[in-house]
Amino acid sequence: MVLISKILFFTSHHGFYTVILLFVFFGLLSYLTKKAWFLILIIPLAILNGVGGQFLNAWFLNRYGVESTAIITSDVETNSTLNDMYIHDYEAIVKKQDGKYTTTFFSTTTAAIYPIRNSIRIPGDKDIPVKYIPGYEKNMVILYDESREGKILLQNEKLAPVNTAKTKYEADRTDKEFIEEYINALENYVKYDDTAAYKEKIEELKQELKQLK
């Protein structure tokens, strides 16, 4: 596992050198076997690593890694951009299983983040939840949804349908469809947050609905 983690860290953080190694490896393989078709594999593998290298690394670390925390010690904005946003270079320290720390680095374009999404979000928490393979802690995946920032964002996303339904309901409390929509939205939300106030509101709305029928 440690060897795989080291390989994935290198390929996801050093795309240019990975391409060079692919040329050397398949060039040598083609020369020794006298089979030129091995060279065809270089370009698709290089593209695949460039597009999905960090995602493969994130999946691997989340699947086989152990949980810990990391602290970002440096955040430097570069002159390069990705999707009209400036790329940041980060340095961090990762807490090992013995309680000591080791240093690591990553950037906006190389960070391994789980769950895998199109957006790249680095939490602003002091202690960031991460996973790594013991023995090579510098290769870590950030568990965004487990961070304080991630939990707030996730809660807001789940609460959005409730707020939409509530706005419709408050505009016309006699509309049966609006009441039913509000009830359904709350019932879906309490699966995530079972606060008593939400359950009480559901019962209150059901009573209102009965009175209208």
Q: Which residue has the higher pLDDT, 16 or 161?
A: 161
**Strand-pair category, 112-114 with 136-143:** parallel
> Distance between CA 63 and CA 53 in Å, rounded?
16
- Phi and psi for 205 in degrees, rounded to 5? -70, -35
Query: Do 182 and 166 form a contact (C-beta atoms < 8 A)?
Result: yes
CATH number assigned to the domain with residue range 64-146, chosen from the 4 options 2.60.40, 2.40.50, 1.10.3470, 1.20.120 = 2.40.50
Q: In the structure, what pLDDT confidence band is assigned to residue 213 with cuts at 50, 70 and 90?
A: low
- Phi and psi for 124 in degrees, rounded to 5? -90, 10
Q: For the segment 7-31, what is each residue's pLDDT rounded down to a tens digit?
A: 999 998 888 788 788 878 777 877 7
Query: How large is the angle between the packed helices 15-33 and 42-64, nearest 10 degrees?
Result: 120
SS3 at position 34: coil
Q: Where are the beta strands (DSSP E) in 34-147?
A: 66-82, 85-95, 101-107, 112-114, 128-133, 136-143
- Domain ranges in the chain are 2-62, 64-146, 150-212
Q: Is the dihedral of CA 203, 206, 212, 213 positive or negative?
A: negative
SS3 at position 61: helix
Nearest CA among 127, 126, 131 for reference residue 141: 131
Q: Which residue has the higher pLDDT, 83 or 66?
A: 66
Q: For the segment 87-141, what is each residue's pLDDT rounded down to a tens digit?
A: 899 999 999 999 999 999 999 888 999 998 888 889 988 899 999 999 999 999 9
Residues with Cβ < 8 Å from 111, sequence gap 6 or more? 54, 90, 120, 122, 142
